[in-house]
Structure 1
Amino acid sequence: MGTLSARRVSQQEIRAALDRILASPDFETSERNRRFLRHVVEEALAGRAERIKAYSIATLVFGRSEDFDPMQDSIVRIEAGRLRRALDNYHLKHGDGSDVIITIPKGSYVPVFQQQAQALPPAPEPVAPGQKPLHEYGPRILVEPFEQEGDSGTHQQIGRTLTRQVISALTRFTELFVYGFDTSDRSARSGSGRETSEGLEIDYRLSGTVTISKHALIAEILMKRNEDGRFIWVQTLQREIEGSCDPSQVVSLCAEVAGQVASVLALRDGIMDSQARDSSGSGPRHFAGYQKLLDFHDYWRSLDPKRFEPLRRDLEATIDADPGFVAAHACLSMLYSNAARFSYDLGDDCPDPLERALDLARKAIRLAPSSSRAYHARAIAEWFMGRQVDSLQTLGAARALNPNDPELMAELGFRLASRKNWDAGIPLLEEAYARSPLLSGQFRMGLFLYHFAHGRHEQALEEIRAVEAPGIAHVQLAAAAALAALGRLAEARQRLALADQIAPGLATRMPQDVAFRQFHPDLTESMMRTLASLDPKWPNQANSSRLHRL
C-alpha cells in the first residue's frame, strides 16, 4: 500500500480526497493523467504497490501494446512529471489542512498519502530585531511580465501564467530574493515597468516573450543586469504540444519552462553563481553572504581537506554576524557532518560534530521551513547518526520543497545506492548528472558501487575517477578495489598506499568506518576482500564479516 502518515489515513479518506482532486477545476491536467492518478491510487489501496511500474501504467492506462519498452519510450516518465506538478499546484491552492495530500515522489510511481496538517512544516521562529532584511542575502530579481506574441486565441492569460510560475519556481531558492507577482503585475498594468519599479532595489531583470502555436509553446527568455543594462543570459525554450492544445497541457508546459529557467538561473553552477563570482570584488552589501555559499560549493565539489578548516571558521563568523542567515547555517551543518564523515579532529572547539551539525540544521529549518537546503543538511547529519529512515524521509521533504535540484536527486540516489536499492537510486543519480554535469563528483560513488557490485569494473573505475576528490582516502580505496579486480595490481597498491598516507590507521578501523557510513554489508564485504588480497594489513574476509554484527 502507499506510504501513510503517522496517523494512518483510511482508505475511505484517500478515496474521498482522490474524488475531490479529480472533480476540481484546480486540478489542471489531461484526462489520461487523471486515469493515471486513479490507477496508481487504486492499485496502492488494493495492496499491489509492487505492480505499479512503467510497463503496467503504459499498457493499462495509456493503451500501449504489450511490447512496450520503457527504455525506448519515455511516455510514462514524462506524464508522471506533469502529474506531479498538477498535484503540487492543486495542493498549494487547497492548503487548509483539512484534506489528504496525495503525492507521487520522483523515482517511483507509487503514491504517498498524508494528512495535510501533518505535512505542513513547523512555523518559523520570529525574526529577531536588527537582523538584515532578506534581500540583503543574495541577488534581487524582478521578473517582468512575459509578453504574448502572435494570436493567443483561447490562451489569453498565458503570459501571466508563465510569469507567475517562473516567480514561484525561483522563490524556492532561499539564497535569492525574488519580487512577488503583485509587483511584477503592477508594472505591466502601469505600462512602464521601469517607472513602477523605481525605488526597488533590483540586481537583475528577467523578461521575455511567449508564443503558442498549434504545435508548440515557445518562450524567449532574457536576463539583464540592472546596474549597466548588460544582457547576461538569453535563451529560447520550446515545448511540443501533444494532440489538442487544451488549457491544462499549456499550464503544464509553462511549469516545465519555469522549472528549466529556475534550474539555469538558481541551481549550483547556474547563472547566479557565475554572476556572484564576477561581483565578488565589489562591496559586500548584496553579495557578502552569498559569496560564502560559493566558497562552500567550491569545497563541496572537491571535498579538499585543506579548505575545510578555513571555511568552517568563515561560516562560524558569518552566522555570528548574521544569525538569521539560513543558508550559512545549513552549509556549516554539512561541514560538521563532513568532520565526522572524514574523522577530522576539531579539538575542544567541537567534541561532537554530528550533534553540532544537527543543531545547525534544525535552526535553519526553524528560520526557514521552506528551505530545501536546510532539510538536506539535516538529512546528512541523520544518516551519519545511523538514522537511515529519518534521513531518507528528510531528503524526501527536501525534494518536495525543491524537486528540480540535481544535488538533492544525487544525494538521495547515492544513499539508496549505498543500501543496494539500485532500482530507485541509480535513475536518480543518472538524472542528476544529466541535469547538471558539473555537479559534485562525490555522488558518483553510488554509481561506482553499482557497477562494482555487478562486475563492471572498468565502468566502476571510470566513475571513481570522475569523483575528482584525490584528498579523500575512501576514493583511493575504491579506485584500488576496481584496479585490483581488473588485475592491475601495481596501480592498485599505489592507490592503497596513498589512502594509508591520507588517513593513517584507517585499515585497523575499517569495519567501524564502513558501518558508520551505512553501506550495505554485501558491498563492503566484496570490496574489503579485494583490498585484503593486496595488503594483509587491510581487513580480510573474517574481519569484514563483523560488519553483519555491527
Structure 2
Amino acid sequence: MDISENDIRAQLHCILAHPDFAATPQRRAFLSYIVEEYLAGRADQIKGVSIAMSVFDRDETFDQQIDPIVRLEARRLRQDIDGYYAGPGRQDPLRLTIPKGGYAPRFERVAPPEQPGLLPEVAPLEIRNPRRIPAIGLGVAGLLALCALVWFAFVGWWASSPSVSEGALPQGPVVAVLPFDTLGEGPGYFADGLTQQLTSELARFRDIWVLPLGSGQRSSQGGSDLQGLRTEFNADFALEGSVLDKGDTIVLSARLIDLKSQRYVWVNDYSTGRAPSEIYSAQDNIIRDVIGRLAGKYGVLTQDAMKTATRTPPSNRDAYDCVLSYYSYQITIDHGRHPAIMDCIQRSLEQSPDYAEAWAVLSNLYLQQIRFGLGGDRQEVIAAASDAARRAVEIDPNLAAGHLMLANMRFVRGDFDGFRRAGQIAVGLNPNDSSVLAHYGMRLAFSGDWDEGLAIVDRAIALNPVHPHWYHFPRIFYEFDQGNYQQALTVLDQIDMPNFLWTHLWSAVLNASLERQQEAQSSLNELLLQRPAFASEANSILSIWQLGDQFEQKLLGSLHKAGLEIDK
C-alpha cells in the first residue's frame, strides 16, 4: 500500500509524543533512528552494529555476541510499541512494527472498523440506537427507576445469601451490558444470545459488578441514557454492540464505553457466515475473545484501576487497592516489591477479614517466599499459605482464585490428583480468566503433562494480548527439556522481566547449553547480583516446582557449566 513519508513521520510523532508510550529516552532514540534510516532508503543497512554505534554510544569494537544491548533493547522497544497500540494507539490508521529477525521497521495501514455511531476520540459521546423495544409506557427516567429496583433487589439478594459474605461482594468496576442490536434483517437470536452470554461470563469475575440483564434497556425514542447509568447506578463502563447482516456474512461490532469520560476505550469487529452452525460456533469464539480482553486483572476494565492503585500512598489503600497492587506486581514479579505488597495485603485483611481474594493472593505471596528464596521457614510458610488458601474458599466457595491456590498448595506437596481436581474446579468456575489458566496450565506442564499444560497456557496467552510475560516461561521449560536450546532462548527474548529470578537463571542455563560461555557468565553474574545466596538456595527453589530429578539435574548441570558452584 502507498504510505507517504509524511504519514510515517506523523505516526512516529504520535507514538513519541504520547504520555503513555513507556519507552526510555534511549529506546525512543532507537525508534527514531531506524525510522529515519528507513525513510532515507537504507532499511537494508539497519544492523545491530550501526544501532549500537549511533544510539548506544558503542564504538567500532562493538561485538553483539558479547554485548547484547541492541537485542535486549529491541525486544523492550517492541513491547513498548505493542503496549502503545494495545492502548492509546488502537485507533491509529497506521501501524508501526519491528519484525523479529531484524531491526528495520514495517508500516501498514489499518482499515477503520465498521462501527455505526462510533464518534472520533475528540468528540463527546452520543449514541442513538435504531433498535425498537416493546412500548411499555415508560420514558428513560421510568426505565432507570425500574432498573434501580431490580438492581438493588439483586444486591440485597447477593449480600444476604448464606454462602456469600460481605467481603465476597465484587470490589471493582460496575459494568452495564446493553442489549446488542440487530441491524437490517440479521438473526435476532444471535444478538440476544450474545447479550445473555456476555452478561453471564462477566459475572463469573468476582471483582466486576455486572448490572442485571435488562438494566441497560433503552427507550424507543431517546436512544441511550448513558449519563443515567452513571448517575443512577454509578456505572463505570457500558458494553454495547450490534449485529449487521451483510448478505453472505454477518458482522458483529462490540464496543466498551468509559462512562466517566464518555469515550470508547475498546472496539472490535467479528465476522461469520450466515449458517446457524457457523453462527453458534462464532458466538463461542467471540465470547472468549471479548471476555479475555476486557475482564480479569489484566483486562481493559481494570487497567486504569490498577494504575491508580499503584500510585495510591500505602496509608490510603483499601483492600481492593492492595489486591490490584498485587496483580500489578505479578506482571514483572520484581522481588524488591514483594515485602511491601505482602504487608499491604496483610494490613488490608486486618480491616477486611472476609475479603476472599485477598486471602487467595496472600497464599501465593507466601509460596513465593520459597519459590524465589525470599526467606522464612519452609514448613511454616507452607502452612501459612495453606491456611490462607482454605480461608479464601471458606469465605467464597465460588471464587476461582481460591480453588486455584488450593490447587497450588496440593501441587507443592506432590498431591497431583488433588492438584488436578482443585485446578479443574478453578477453571470450571471461570474458564476465561487468563490468570487461572496460566497458573494451572504451567503446573500441569511441570508435573509431566506438557501437551495439555502448554495448550492451556497458550489459551491464556491468546485470551489477552497484554498478559504478563511470565506466561511464556513454561514454553522455555519445555524446549529445554526437549533439547531445543535456541528455541527456548528465542522465547526468553520475548520476556521483559529484568528483576525476576528466572529471567537471568534461564539466560545463564541456555547460553551455557549453547556453549556461549561469556553470555552465560554475564547472566549468572546478574542472577547472583540479585540473589547472592542462590548457590545454597538452588535445590530448595527448584524442588517446589515438582520438575522431577532428571530435569532438575539437567538444569543444575547447565548452571554449573555456566560457572555456578552449587552447594550440596
CA contact (8 A) 1:263 1:405 kept: yes
Partner of 1:522 in structure 2? 550
Unaligned runs of 5+ in 2: 1-159
* TM-score under structure 1 length normalisation: 0.66
Where 2:188 maps in the other structure, the secondary structure is: coil
* TM-score under structure 2 length normalisation: 0.64
1:273 to 279, 294, 302: 302
2:182 to 142, 148, 164: 148
CA offset digits 1:373-396 (Å, max 9, x no partner): 222222223222332332232222
Where 2:215 maps in the other structure, the secondary structure is: helix
User: How far did residue 125 of structure 1 move?
Assistant: 5.7
Partner of 1:258 in structure 2? 287
Q: Distance in 2 between matches of 1:462 and 1:251?
A: 38
CA contact (8 A) 1:216 1:239 kept: yes
Q: Distance in 1 between matches of 2:192 and 2:232?
A: 23
1:216 to 230, 244, 249: 249
CA contact (8 A) 2:359 2:392 kept: yes
CA contact (8 A) 1:341 1:384 kept: no
Q: Distance in 2 between matches of 1:434 and 1:179?
A: 27
* Letter of the 1:527 counterpart: L
CA contact (8 A) 1:354 1:385 kept: no
Where 2:254 maps in the other structure, the secondary structure is: strand
User: How far did residue 333 of structure 1 move?
Assistant: 1.8
Q: Distance in 1 between matches of 2:282 and 2:493?
A: 38
User: How far did residue 279 of structure 1 move?
Assistant: 5.5
1:326 pairs with 2:356 = yes
Partner of 1:171 in structure 2? 203
1:300 to 327, 330, 341: 330
Where 1:352 maps in the other structure, the secondary structure is: helix
Partner of 1:50 in structure 2? none
Q: Distance in 2 between matches of 1:370 and 1:269?
A: 20
Q: Distance in 2 between matches of 1:124 and 1:397?
A: 21
User: How far did residue 519 of structure 1 move?
Assistant: 0.8
CA offset digits 1:52-97 (Å, max 9, x no partner): xxxxxxxxxxxxxxxxxxxxxxxxxxxxxxxxxxxxxxxxxxxxxx
* Letter of the 2:268 counterpart: T
CA contact (8 A) 1:124 1:369 kept: no
User: How far did residue 204 of structure 1 move?
Assistant: 1.6
Partner of 1:339 in structure 2? 369
* Letter of the 2:521 counterpart: R
CA offset digits 1:158-196 (Å, max 9, x no partner): 3322211110111111110001114345x5689876498
1:134 to 169, 179, 194: 169
> Equivalences for 1:91-110 in 2 at 5 Å?
none
1:495 pairs with 2:523 = yes
* Letter of the 1:161 counterpart: G
Identify if the C-alpha distance between structure 1 residues 180 and 455 changes in structure 2 by more than 3 Å, giving closer, same or farther: same
User: How far did residue 328 of structure 1 move?
Assistant: 2.0
Unaligned runs of 5+ in 1: 1-122, 544-550
Q: Which moved more, 1:287-296 or 1:456-465?
A: 287-296
Taking every aligned residue pair, what percent have the same amino acid on both sides? 22
Where 2:467 maps in the other structure, the secondary structure is: coil
CA contact (8 A) 2:357 2:401 kept: yes
> Equivalences for 1:4-23 in 2 at 5 Å?
none
1:435 pairs with 2:463 = yes
User: How far did residue 288 of structure 1 move?
Assistant: 4.9
Partner of 2:264 in structure 1? 231
Partner of 2:154 in structure 1? none
1:313 pairs with 2:343 = yes
2:418 to 368, 390, 399: 390
User: How far did residue 141 of structure 1 move?
Assistant: 1.0
CA contact (8 A) 2:272 2:279 kept: no
* Letter of the 2:302 counterpart: D
Identify if the C-alpha distance between structure 1 residues 466 and 249 changes in structure 2 by more than 3 Å, giving closer, same or farther: closer
User: How far did residue 289 of structure 1 move?
Assistant: 4.3
CA contact (8 A) 2:306 2:325 kept: no
* Letter of the 2:385 counterpart: A
> Equivalences for 1:279-294 in 2 at 5 Å?
288-294=318-324
Identify if the C-alpha distance between structure 1 residues 159 and 438 changes in structure 2 by more than 3 Å, giving closer, same or farther: closer
CA offset digits 1:265-322 (Å, max 9, x no partner): 11333211223246557999xx954433331122112111111111111111222222
* Letter of the 1:293 counterpart: V
Where 1:183 maps in the other structure, the secondary structure is: coil
* Letter of the 1:259 counterpart: R
User: How far did residue 412 of structure 1 move?
Assistant: 2.8
CA offset digits 1:243-273 (Å, max 9, x no partner): x623x65344333323322222113332112
